[in-house]
Structure 1
Amino acid sequence: MGNTSLAVHKAIVFTIIGVLLIPILATLAYSLSTHWGATILPEGFTFEWFHKLLSTPRFLWAFGRSLLICFSALILSTLLILPAIFVVFYYFPKLDKLMNLLILLPFSVPPVVSSVGMLQIYADSDISLIGTPWILIGTYFTIALPFMYRAIANSFSAINLRDLMDAAHLLGASTPKAFFLVVLPNIKKGLMASLFLSFSFLLGEFVFANILVGTRFETLQIYLYSVRQESGHYTSALVMTYFFFIFLSTWLAGRIGAKS
Structure 2
Amino acid sequence: MSRAELSAAGLYHRLMVYTLFFILLLPLLGTLLYSLSTDWSATILPSGMTFKWYVELWGDPRFLAAFGHSLLICVGALLLSAVLILPLLFVVHYHFPRLDGLMNILILLPFAVPPVVSSVGLLQLYSSGPLAMTGTPWILIGCYFTVALPFMYRAITNNLQAINLPDLMDAAHMLGASTWKAAFLVVLPNLRKGLMVSLFLSFSFLFGEFVFANLLVGTRYETLQVYLNNMRNSSGHFTSALVISYFLFVLILTWAANHLNKDKS
- TM-score, normalised with respect to structure 2: 0.96
Paired position in structure 2 for 1:63: 67
Is 1:113 matched with 2:142? no
Structure-to-structure mapping, 1:153-192, within 5 angstroms: 153-192=157-196
- Structure 2 CA distance for aligned equivalents of residues 56 and 148 of structure 1: 34
Q: Which of the numbers 211, 215, 226 marks the counterpart of 2:219?
A: 215
Match of 1:35, SS?
Answer: coil
**Shift of residue 48, structure 1, vs aligned partner:** 0.6
Match of 1:125, SS?
Answer: coil
- Structure 2 CA distance for aligned equivalents of residues 61 and 45 of structure 1: 28
Could you tell me which runs of 5 or more consecutive residues in structure 2 were left unpaired when the two chains were aligned: none
- Structure 2 CA distance for aligned equivalents of residues 143 and 158 of structure 1: 25
Is 1:242 matched with 2:250? no
Paired position in structure 2 for 1:131: 135
**Shift of residue 7, structure 1, vs aligned partner:** 1.9
Is 1:37 matched with 2:41? yes
Aligned residues: 260
Paired position in structure 2 for 1:20: 24
Paired position in structure 2 for 1:46: 50
Paired position in structure 2 for 1:84: 88
- Structure 2 CA distance for aligned equivalents of residues 203 and 234 of structure 1: 20
- Structure 1 CA distance for aligned equivalents of residues 8 and 99 of structure 2: 50
Counterpart of 2:124, as a letter, is: Q
Could you tell me which runs of 5 or more consecutive residues in structure 1 were left unpaired when the two chains were aligned: none
- Structure 2 CA distance for aligned equivalents of residues 11 and 111 of structure 1: 41
- Structure 1 CA distance for aligned equivalents of residues 128 and 236 of structure 2: 40
**Shift of residue 103, structure 1, vs aligned partner:** 1.5
Paired position in structure 1 for 2:12: 8
**Shift of residue 13, structure 1, vs aligned partner:** 1.2
Match of 1:258, SS?
Answer: coil
Deviations 1:87-134 (A, max 9, x none): 111111111111111111111111000000111112232222011100
CA RMSD of aligned residues (A): 1.0
Is 1:227 matched with 2:231? yes
**Shift of residue 41, structure 1, vs aligned partner:** 0.7
- Structure 1 CA distance for aligned equivalents of residues 151 and 12 of structure 2: 35
Paired position in structure 2 for 1:95: 99
- Structure 2 CA distance for aligned equivalents of residues 208 and 151 of structure 1: 24
- TM-score, normalised with respect to structure 1: 0.98
- Structure 2 CA distance for aligned equivalents of residues 5 and 186 of structure 1: 41
Counterpart of 2:6, as a letter, is: G
